[in-house]
Amino acid sequence: MASSSSELAILPPGFSLERAARAPPSLPFPLPLMHLDHLALATPDPNAALASLVGDLGATVLGGGDAIGFRWVQVFLGHDQAPNSGMKLELITPWEPENNDFLQRFIARHGEGPHHLTFKVSNLAAELSRLRDLGFEPVGVNLSNPEWREAFLLPRQSHGTVVQLAESSIDPKFAIDEYRRAQSSGPVGTPFWWPAMETTAPKSCLAQIVLRSADPQATTDFFCSVLGGKVEGSDLVWPGGGRIKIVTAGSETPGVSHLELENPQNHELTRKQIIAGIAFE
C-alpha cells in the first residue's frame, strides 16, 4: 500500500528526482529481513492505466482503497505456475488534495511515472535504528498505526529513487499470496473505487524493474547490503519474486528506467507499451 499523509515528507521544498545519489557507507552488518514488495506509479488517470494493465497485459487486481490525499490500487503481473513468476505494481492517484496535495504536486512537477519502491520489513523500528547507525536519514517516519508503519529514504540517499520501508500486520507476506487470495475470493477494496474489469489477455509476467545508475556497483551494494537484495546473474533478487536490474545511466537521470515483461506462453518480451508514464518492454 502507499503511504498516508506522512508521505508529504518525501517531497519537501526543493525536492528533485534529478538530485545525484550518493553512495551509502560500506560497513559490515547483518542482512536486513525485508523484501521488495512493489513499485508505485503516480498517475492522474488510474482507470486508463488499469484498463491497459488488465486488458492488455492480463494483470490481476489485488485490491485498493483511499488514503489522505490519494487513492491506490494494486495489481499482480504474473501467475503461480512457477516460483517467483511475477511482481506487483501499485497505481496511486490524487484524491481530495485539499487534505494533502503531495501527489498532485508531484505529478504537476514530474508528470506521471514511477513514484517509489516499497520494501516490506518485519520490524520497522529495528530497521530504522540500523539505517541510522549506517548514516542514513529516514524521513516521513510513522509508527502510530500497527497495521501499517512506514518510513522513507529520499533519492539522494537511495540512488535516485524514493524508497518506502513498510511494516504491515494485515497484508499477506508476498505478492504471490495476494494473487492467490484474489484468484479465489476477488480483490479487497477499502473502498472499491475503481471500475470492475475483466480480461481474456494472456497473463504477462513482470520480470524485473530496471534502474538507471550513475555508479552501478555502488547502487548494487546499496540494494544488497542496505535493502537485503541478493545477486543472481545480472539481477538483484529478493524473497517472493522481487527483481531489479541495474544499468548505467549515461546522460540520463538515475532512477527507474522501465519494466521488463515476459509472456509465459511464448517466453518473449511483449511489445513495448507506455502505461502510467513508464515503458513496459
Domain that includes residue 83, residue range: 5-14+27-188+202-280
- Residue 59 is predicted with a pLDDT of 96
Quickly list DSSP for the chain. ----GGGGGGS-TT--TTSPP-PPP----PPPSEEEEEEEEE-S-HHHHHHHHHHTT--EEEEEEEETTEEEEEEEEE-SSSTT-EEEEEEEEE-STTT--HHHHHHHHH-SEEEEEEEEES-HHHHHHHHHHTT---EEEE---TTEEEEEE-TTTTTTS-EEEEEESSS-SSHHHHHHHHHHH--EEES--SPP----S---EEEEEEEEESSHHHHHHIIIIIT--EEETTEEE-TTS-EEEEEE-TTSPSEEEEEEEEBTTTTBPPPPEEETTEEE-
Q: Are 197 and 50 in contact (CB under 8 A)?
A: yes
pLDDT for 271 equals 59
**Is 22 within the bounds of a domain?**
no
11-25 pLDDT tens trace: 333 333 333 233 333
**What are the two backbone dihedrals, phi and then psi, of residue 93, each rounded to the nearest 5 degrees?**
-140, 145
Backbone angles phi, psi at 89, to 5 degrees: -120, 155
pLDDT attached to residue 101: 97
d(CA 40, CA 220): 21
Which CATH number does the domain housing residue 133 bear? Answer: 3.10.180.10
Domain annotation covers residue 240: yes
Note the pLDDT tens digit of each residue in 146-172.
Answer: 899 999 999 999 999 999 999 998 876
Share of the chain above pLDDT 90, in %: 75
Residue 197 is assigned to a structural domain of this protein = no
Q: Is residue 121 part of a domain?
A: yes
Closest CA to 91 of 241, 273, 256, 276: 276
Cell (9 digits) for 111 = 508528470
Count of CB atoms situated within 10 Å of the CB of 47: 15
pLDDT at 266 over 50: no
**pTM exceeds 0.85, yes or no:** yes
Pair type for strands 273-275 and 255-262 = unpaired
State the pLDDT at residue 85.
84
What is the CA 278 to chain-centroid distance, rounded? 13
Percent of the chain exceeding pLDDT 70 equals 84
In a domain, 35, yes or no: yes
Residue range 193-203: mean pLDDT, rounded: 92
Residue 162 in any domain: the answer is: yes
The total of other beta-carbon atoms located within 10 Å of residue 134's CB is 14
**pLDDT for 32:** 54
264 found inside a domain? yes
Average pLDDT of the segment spanning 133-141: 96
Q: Over range 92-112, report the average pLDDT.
A: 97
How does 222-252 read in b/e, with b if 16+ C-beta sit within 10 Å?
Answer: bbebbbbbeeeeebbbbebbbbbbbeebeee
Confidence of residue 10 (pLDDT cuts 50, 70, 90): very low
Looking at residues 225-241, what average pLDDT do you find? 94
- Predicted confidence (pLDDT) at residue 29 exceeds the cutoff of 90: no
Number of domains in the chain: 1
pLDDT value of residue 173 = 78
Does residue 77 sit within a domain?
yes
- What is the reported pLDDT for 30? 46
